[in-house]
Amino acid sequence: MKNETSTRQTVVVKVGGSTLPHREAVLADLAELHSAGLEVVIAHGGGAALTDWLARVDKQPTFVNGLRVTDDETLELAVMVFAGTVNKQLVALLNAAGIPAVGISGVDGGLVRARRQTDPDIGLVGQTAQVDTTPLRALLDHGLIPVVACIVLGPDGQILNINADTLAGDLARALCASRVVFLTDVPGVRGADGAVIPTLSAGETDRLIAEGVITGGMIPKVEACLRCLDGVPEAVILDGSVSHVLRDHVLGSATAGTVFRSRPTTA
């Protein structure tokens, strides 16, 4: 639960591996958000890095609706890559840029407790059951930026993999964040004509998925956007390769990407 004594705006940023080639601009934007007094939480995966490690052991990755099928061997490597190598590399880059970051996973402090996802059944993959924001608040209240890897706590101490987009949306909702931003390698959600769709509703999104317009890894992104809107006013998918797109959207008036907004309540 969000600390009610905090009056600072909270922004959750999902950083994909595709944004790292443009990390100088992304890091500069994160530093500016932090300096502007915003609470920043970063969620990340590392799918490309995990696929590289799977190739080293001659294992072919499998995906269902954009979600990775995770068996015992894949999970072991996922923990090593996500909560280890990728997390610490990202934290090192942030701290080197003067951004006070601390790396954790969804396991630490019981941050994210999950059940096994069964629809579809894709192995050792979690579906969030509960988020305890206490570990995040402890870091945020001391001016630190939590960097959360997509590994979560399952039943009876089991570790589970979780999609990083899903994780970002669930953290944002639990924190009552003002905004969640998904940085990726495309300019937004494209329609059947290839043009970026500026705004999407739940009904429109469902139709585009059913028609096969939204496919693959974009499906969990848009589903994460929609799911968090009962607690987050705005979710947006942005092209992380565009210089300072994060800063311009959060601190400015830029209208890039695809935006999902919760409907205003009426009296």
Report yes or no on 2 lying in a domain: no
Kindly state the average pLDDT of the residues 21-50: 88
56-84 pLDDT tens trace: 999 999 998 888 999 999 999 999 999 99
Helix, strand, or coil (residue 158): coil
How far apart are alpha carbons 133 and 130 in whole angstroms?
Answer: 10
- The stretches of the chain forming alpha helices (DSSP H) are 23-35, 47-56, 72-78, 87-96, 134-140, 164-175, 202-210, 218-227, 245-250
CATH number assigned to the domain comprising residue 223: 3.40.1160.10
| pLDDT band (50, 70, 90) for residue 20 | low
Report yes or no on 266 lying in a domain: no
- According to the model, what pLDDT value does residue 28 have? 87
Task: Say whether pLDDT at 3 is over 70.
Answer: no
Question: Tokens in use for 147?
Answer: 């960097």
Report yes or no on 210 lying in a domain: yes
Active-site residue, selected from the candidate residues 221, 239, 240, 257: 221
Active-site residue, selected from the candidate residues 46, 47, 169, 188: 47
Q: Which residues pair with 199 in a beta bridge?
A: 259
Structural domain harbouring 165: 10-261
**DSSP-derived pairing of the beta strands 145-149 and 67-68:** unpaired
Report yes or no on 66 lying in a domain: yes
Is 221 one of the annotated active-site residues of the chain? yes
Active-site residue, selected from the candidate residues 16, 103, 126, 165: 165
Do the Cβ atoms of 165 and 126 come closer than 8 Å?
Answer: no
Cβ contacts of 36 within 8 Å, gap of 6 or more: 251
Report yes or no on 3 lying in a domain: no
Task: Using a cut of 0.85, tell me whether the model's pTM lies above it.
Answer: yes
Question: Tokens in use for 177?
Answer: 């964040």
Task: Say whether pLDDT at 242 is over 90.
Answer: no
185-211 pLDDT tens trace: 888 999 999 999 999 988 899 999 999
Mean pLDDT value across the chain: 89
Is 47 one of the annotated active-site residues of the chain? yes
